[in-house]
Every structure is written in structure tokens, then in C-alpha cells.
Amino acid sequence: MRCVSCSGQFVTIRGNLKLWDKILGYFIVADTEYEECEMCGEKLYSPGTIQAIEKAEDLRKNKLLLKKPLEEFILATEVAQILNCSRQAVHKHKRIRRGFIHFVNHNDKIYYLKESVELYKETGDGRIQLSAPKPKQISNVINFAKHLRKKHYKIETECFIDAGSDSPCLTEENKPKKDILEELMKG
């Protein structure tokens, strides 16, 4: 199969899939199968893989919520008071059940994250970021990485600026000439 974006060829990959979500941060879907373009890295997922991704998202969300102290959570009666509705309406509300307010089911009780409830009341969307923000990605480094991939250099696909490093993820034997590197970094 050909990629729509770059006309590259898709290959089947079996293994761990590392994904980023703006609310959950990085999470891994273990032992799954997906298609990836050799040129641009575009990914295609089967319905079974999508179910595995959703399950991994739920596990990651529950793990992050269970790390928070109990004082940050409230029960449905308090949520109902904040949202000016009944307790039953809280439990049956479609947007709340779909995750627009973060909640966790613990010991057969549903606990709602108070900060999420208050944000939902103000904006209609209580999804707050539960993990650390994604490291800043620099487009010149990524464009340089794509250029090198086309030239068949070995390079890691994700390069981020870290406190200790500001160079692309190259190994010594793969580095191109310095003048090419400087020219591409200038943009």
C-alpha cells in the first residue's frame, strides 16, 4: 500500500507502539500490529489495534488519576451541587460518561476530579492535562531528520530539545558534513 502523503510504501510492524496524548502524555500499547510508512512515518491502525489503543488510554488515565490524593476528588452529590443538577443526571450525562470530566471508579464508587468538574462548569470541557507537557519539538531538526532519512542515514525519528542537548539524534558514523548540517539548521 502507498502512503497518500509522500507516496512511500507501508510496512507492517509488530511490537510496542509509543503514542502521545495531550492529556495523558506518552503511553505504550504493548505487542500490537500496525502499518507505518517507510518515508514519512505515517501510521495506519486496524480496528483491533484501535481497541488496544483505547484500552491502553483507559489504563494510563486511571493510573494517573489514582496517583492524585483523595482530597482532590469529590462524589456525585457534590458534583451535582456544583453543576446545579441531580445526582442521577450526573451519572447519566453523556458528556461526563465520555470523559469530559475526569473520574475514576474505585471500590465500587465513582470519584470525580474536583478541578475537572469546575473547569467543565466554566467551559463545558473538564479535560485537564494529567501528565507533564510534551518536550518542545523543533521543526528544523525534524525537517533535517526527514532529509537524512531520504538520504538513507540512520537517525532516530523523534528528536527533542532537552536541557542537556540541542543537536539532532545522530551517531558519529552517520553525521553528514558540517556545512550541510549548518545550512539545513539555518532553514
pLDDT, position 8: 86
**β-pair type (43-45, 73-74):** unpaired
Higher pLDDT, 106 or 153: 106
Percent of the chain with pLDDT over 70: 71
Q: 20-72 pLDDT, tens per residue?
A: 888 888 889 999 999 998 888 889 999 999 999 999 998 999 899 988 998 99
Could you tell me the pLDDT band of residue 118, with boundaries at 50, 70 and 90?
very high
Report, as an integer, the average pLDDT of 74-96: 91
Q: Is the pLDDT of residue 185 over 70?
A: no
Name the burial class of residue 111, with classes exposed (0-12), middle (13-18) and buried (19+) by CB atoms within 10 angstroms of its CB. buried
Checking if the pLDDT of 167 tops 60, the result is no
Residue 27 CA to residue 3 CA, distance in Å, equals 25
Reported as a pLDDT band with limits 50, 70 and 90, residue 147 is: low
Q: What is the average pLDDT value for the chain, to the nearest integer?
A: 78
Coil, strand or helix at 40: coil
- pLDDT at position 127 over 70: yes
Mean pLDDT value of segment 97-107: 87
pLDDT of residue 86: 92
pTM above 0.75, yes or no: no
Q: Where are the domains of the chain?
A: 10-66, 70-123, 139-186
Helix axis angle, 139-150 relative to 178-186, nearest 10°?
130
Confidence of residue 163 (pLDDT cuts 50, 70, 90): very low
- Burial status of residue 57 (CB atoms within 10 A of its CB: 0-12, 13-18, 19 or more): middle
- What is the pLDDT averaged over residues 71-95? 91
State yes or no: pLDDT of 173 exceeds 60: no
pLDDT at residue 52, as a whole number: 93
